[in-house]
Structure 1
Amino acid sequence: MATTQHYLWAGGHFVLLVSSFRYLLAWAFFRGPSSWWYKTSFFGALLSYAIVCQKSLGTPQPNGAWIKRALTDENVQYLLLAFFWWTSKPIAFSLLPFAIFSLFHALTFTRTTLMPQILASGPPTSAGGAPTPHPLAKRLQLWVKANYDTAMKAVAFIELLIMARVLLGAITFRNSLLTPIFYAHFLRQRYYQSAFTRNALTLVNQRIEGYVRQPGTPPVAVQIWDTFKMLLTRWAGSSVAPQQPAAAGARAQ
């Protein structure tokens, strides 16, 4: 049976979905979206991720072991990122990864918790077995499974686009200089914890390599690219072992 905490977790995802859709729709049509919708979106994210973090890590402990475990937890990283965006000047792209995560969590909550209360289940497949899900719930489950990996790949590329956006924003003074620094550290952790991020970076690197190494490219461009890659590799080097964490914002049990 779903608990109050579970409903609050799901409520945060629904708030994020509705508010981010409202903000992004106005932004896409150049209607000057209200920052209220932006802040509300990340308030929903903070609520959901805080519940997940509390469930997985327990009460915060003032010791190095707990802090280290928290800082390497994927949900904590997204919680900190949500707080950073919540307190920063709105950047529309920053909503997209959170909205995609919330879409899948909201659909799963709808299928596992809401639909059984509204739609009649089918008869059990065996004597004494559990009732079979409603056909609509089954189709929803199949859609989520079929599209999850594609959505996570999209998130990985969107997060790289956000990095490019905040770098450009820092150069043009559209966001603070702190933003790309903070976000670069977030992406560094994503590289070690997410195969989707590693694959996205590999593909981007291959595309840039193909462009930079092609005949006729000025030698100075090749030198700049090689120097950038060397510096990036030195900075990103870490002893942190790649992990296989649960999906961001995983369901609160």
Structure 2
Amino acid sequence: MATTQHYVWAGGHFVLLISALRYILAWAFFKTASLWWYKASYVGAVVSYTIVCQKSLGSPQPTAAWVKRALADENIQYLILALFWFTSKPVTISLFPYTIFSLFHALTFTRTTLMPQILPPGPPATAGGPPTPHPLSKRLQVWVRANYDSAMRVVAYTEILILARVIVGALMFRNSFITPIFYAHFVRMRFFQSQFTREAIVRVTVKIDEYADKPDVPPAVKHGWGTLQSLIGKWTGAPLHAPAGQAPPASGPQ
């Protein structure tokens, strides 16, 4: 039986999903969308992630151990990031990862909580056994399982693209210089915690290497790229070409 807290968590994801899609579609078709939709998206994110963080970590404690554990939690990281985006100048592409996460959470909530209340169950698999889920519920479950990993890879590449966007944005004075510094630290945390992010960074690095190795590329570009790789390696504490060493997490942020 779903609790009130669970419904509020799901409500946050539905608000995020609907508001973000409204804002992104307007942006994609070169229309002006109200900033209200952008802000509402991150309000939904803050509500949902706050509930998850409270359930997993409990009430905040004024201890170094609790703070250390909290900062290592990916849901806390996405919560802090959502608060940062809410209070910063809008960056539309920043909504994409949250929208993807919310899509999967909304679909799962619909399948496990809403559908059983409005759709009749299927016939028992065996005589005298419990009823099976409705066929539509089964198809939804199959779709979520089949597309989850691909969606997480899209998130990983999108987060790299967001980093590039805010770096360029800072140079063009479209966002503050604090934004790329803050977001780069977030990507660094994802590098260590997410197999999908590590794979994406390595593949992007390989592609840039292939371009930099072309004979017609100016030496200054090659040298600059090599220096950047070295700096990133020192910053992350791991070489960009290091092979991935652990399996992907069973689930993404909640």
1:141 Cα deviation from its structure 2 partner: 0.3
Letter in 2 for 1:95: L
> How does 1:2-21 map onto structure 2 within 5 Å?
2-21=2-21
Q: Which has the higher contact order (CA 8 A, sep 6+)?
A: 1
Could you say if the C-alpha distance between residues 245 and 61 of structure 1 is closer, same or farther in structure 2, counting changes exceeding 3 Å? farther
Given the superposition, is the C-alpha separation of residues 4 and 43 from structure 1 closer, same or farther in structure 2, using an over 3 Å criterion? Answer: same
Aligned partner of 1:114 in structure 2 is: 114
- Cα deviation, residue 245, structure 1: 5.4
Query: Does the 8 A contact of 1:111 with 1:141 survive in 2?
Result: yes
Of the structure 1 ranges 44-53 and 229-238, higher mean CA displacement relative to structure 2 is found in 229-238
Of 228-237 and 185-194, deviating more is 228-237
Q: Aligned AA for 1:224?
A: G
Alignment correspondent of 2:92: 92
Amino acid at match of 1:134: H
Deviation at 1:244, TM superposition (A): 6.5
Amino acid at match of 1:151: A
1:24 aligned partner: 24
Could you tell me whether the CA contact under 8 Å between 1:121 and 1:134 is conserved in 2? yes
The 5 A counterparts of 1:19-168 are 19-126=19-126, 129-168=129-168
What's the offset of the Cα at 1:195? 0.5
Alpha-carbon distance in 2 for matches of 1:115, 1:135: 11
Identity %: 63
Contact 1:75–1:249 under 8 Å retained in 2: yes
Q: TM-score, normalised by structure 2?
A: 0.94
- Equivalent-residue separation in structure 1 for 2:248 and 2:224 (angstroms): 35
Taking the aligned partners of 1:246 and 1:60, their CA distance within structure 2 comes to: 26
1:163-205 deviations in whole A, cap 9, x for unaligned?
A: 0000000000000000000000000000000010001001100
Per-residue CA distance 1:198-218 (angstroms, 9 max, x = gap)? 010011001000000122322
Task: Quote how far apart the aligned CAs of 1:235 are.
Answer: 1.0
Q: Is the 8 A contact 1:24 1:92 kept in 2?
A: yes
Take 1:4 and 1:212, find their aligned partners in 2: how far apart are those partners?
55
For 2:54 and 2:129, the matched residues in 1 are separated by: 34
TM-score if structure 1 supplies the norm length? 0.94
The answer to whether residue 168 in structure 2 is matched with residue 174 in structure 1 is no
Q: Distance in 2 between matches of 1:43 and 1:175?
A: 21
SS in 1 for 2:253: coil
Whole-Å Cα distance in 2 between the matches of residues 245 and 211 of structure 1? 32
Change (3 A) 1:84 1:23: same
- Does the 8 Å CA contact 1:97/1:158 hold for their aligned counterparts? yes
Q: Which region of structure 1 is more displaced relative to structure 2, 220-229 or 128-137?
A: 128-137
1:35-65 CA-to-partner distances (Å, cap 9, x unmatched) read 1100000000000000000010011111111
> Which residue is equivalent to 2:205?
205
Q: Secondary structure at the match of 2:89?
A: coil
Q: Is the 8 A contact 1:45 1:82 kept in 2?
A: yes
Backbone CA RMSD of aligned residues: 1.6
Inter-partner Cα distance in structure 1 for 2:35 and 2:56: 31
| More off after superposition, 115-124 vs 97-106 | 115-124
User: Displacement, 1:72?
Assistant: 0.4
Task: Indicate how the Cα distance of structure 1 residues 135 and 125 shifts in structure 2: closer, same or farther if over 3 A, else same.
Answer: same
User: How far, CA to CA, are the matches of 1:235 and 1:29 in structure 2?
Assistant: 39
Residue segments in structure 2 that go unaligned for 5+ positions in a row = 239-244
Q: Is the 8 A contact 1:193 1:242 kept in 2?
A: no
Once the two structures are TM-superposed, the CA of residue 248 in structure 1 deviates from its matched residue by 3.5
State the distance in 1 between where 2:139 and 2:49 align.
Answer: 27
Quick check: 2:75–2:253 contact (8 Å CA) kept in 1?
yes
